[in-house]
Amino acid sequence: GAGVSQSPRYKVAKRGQDVALRCDPISGHVSLFWYQQALGQGPEFLTYFQNEAQLDKSGLPSDRFFAERPEGSVSTLKIQRTQQEDSAVYLCASSPGGAGVGNEQFFGPGTRLTVL
């Protein structure tokens, strides 16, 4: 398909486990964003990539969260030593241009993470 895809769609982890969430953006999109959406809330910005460069990681809640996009396409969000408060839907979005032009973001369906 031509849209943003994310995998897995659902992930259940035991507290303390490490998890890795994958995002496949739309081919050719320069910008990639990660958001965290808690139940009943709007998405909250985590981090932003322009190609392979992570230009903004100010939203990552702790040093347990790490994101990468080594070849400027697929991105992985890794959470180490998961805790219950990490339970949320993690959304990935991509955009054709740089983030500085108010471009539309195209969102994936999200990964619902539940930490027991």
Smallest gap from Cβ 81 to other proteins, in A, equals 27
- Residue 8 contacts other proteins per CB under 8 A: no
Assign 3-state DSSP to the chain and report helix, strand, coil percentages, each to 5.
Answer: 5, 45, 45
Map the footprint of other proteins across residues 29-58, applying CB under 8 A. Answer: 31, 33, 35, 40-45, 48, 50, 55-56, 58
- Residue 87 contacts other proteins per CB under 8 A: no
- Residue 105 contacts other proteins per CB under 8 A: yes
Burial class (CB in 10 A: 0-12, 13-18, 19+), 10: exposed
| Interatomic CA distance for residues 46 and 21, integer angstroms | 13
SS3 of residue 17 by DSSP: coil
- The residues binding other proteins (CB under 8 A) are 4, 31, 33, 35, 40-45, 48, 50, 55-56, 58-59, 91, 93, 98-102, 104-105, 107-110
